[in-house]
Structure 1
């Protein structure tokens, strides 16, 4: 489901969501697929999910999420940004370019910085952060109680990007 700008504007004023601008460069478009509400039971914060659309063939090349929450508490481990690129579209810098496109929209939420986490052995994700001004803040272990531990994460790199 894709929400239009008018759908987002019609939400209550207590909504954390803003209407995203056109997020596009060359052959890449970030298309808002949906917004997700908070789920306190799962300790999930509200967020946006964008599709990375490869414009020449209108195919979905991947996804990028922007999470609305406190990076020091709610998002300490997962960070405010998440991205996945389909194998067929890797090597085109879609995650790096998507992050670059989404940074001004993140700034509109009033944030001074943005936090991103990745596995230490994920060189592509680390470069994505670094090429967008990210600085490695720390490497930290994943506690067993966190859902990311169940997904195989044992250690993460936490990057910060000054907005």
Structure 2
């Protein structure tokens, strides 16, 4: 896979625009570069979608390669689903053939987003004792695989 392609600065679709806000150099806890995109609706930032660029087991099992957040006032309107579809296009452009997304088992809204964007629930894994997530009280993650 060619991962040297430049990521798009901006992408629009489904009533949403994602704009590259920053490139984060590898650092703990993921140790991979991150592209952080702002989710924009009609000129207003409503959340973020983060692309973790790597293929490590830690990403695929626990952190996920795409993370997202929508600000509370904008939840339940499909903005994250639209933004994640755009994020999948970015990952495809960067040469990925599949993407792993994880979420907490009790986060039904996030699980629904994964399903809406074509993610197949693969399994739910226990976070190992000593892992940074376990230390923060996160004990399990649902794993979704999206084939691009």
Matched, 1:157 2:145: no
Change in CA separation of 1:99 and 1:18 when aligned onto 2, cut-off 3 Å: same
Unaligned stretches of 5+ in structure 2?
none
SS at match of 1:77: helix
* 1:25 paired to 2:10: no
The two structures, once aligned, show a CA RMSD in angstroms of: 1.9
- Give the drift of 1:51: 0.7
Moved over 4 A (4+): none
For residues 26 and 161 of structure 1, the distance between their equivalents in structure 2, rounded to whole angstroms, comes to 19
1:4 is aligned to: none
Cross-structure match for 1:3: none
Q: Distance in 2 between matches of 1:126 and 1:137?
A: 12
Structure 1 spans left out of the alignment, 5+ residues: 1-14
SS in 2 for 1:102: helix
SS in 2 for 1:76: helix
- State yes or no: 1:48 paired with 2:35: yes
Task: Look up the match of 2:24.
Answer: 36
* TM-score, structure 2 normalization: 0.89
- Deviation at 1:62? 0.7
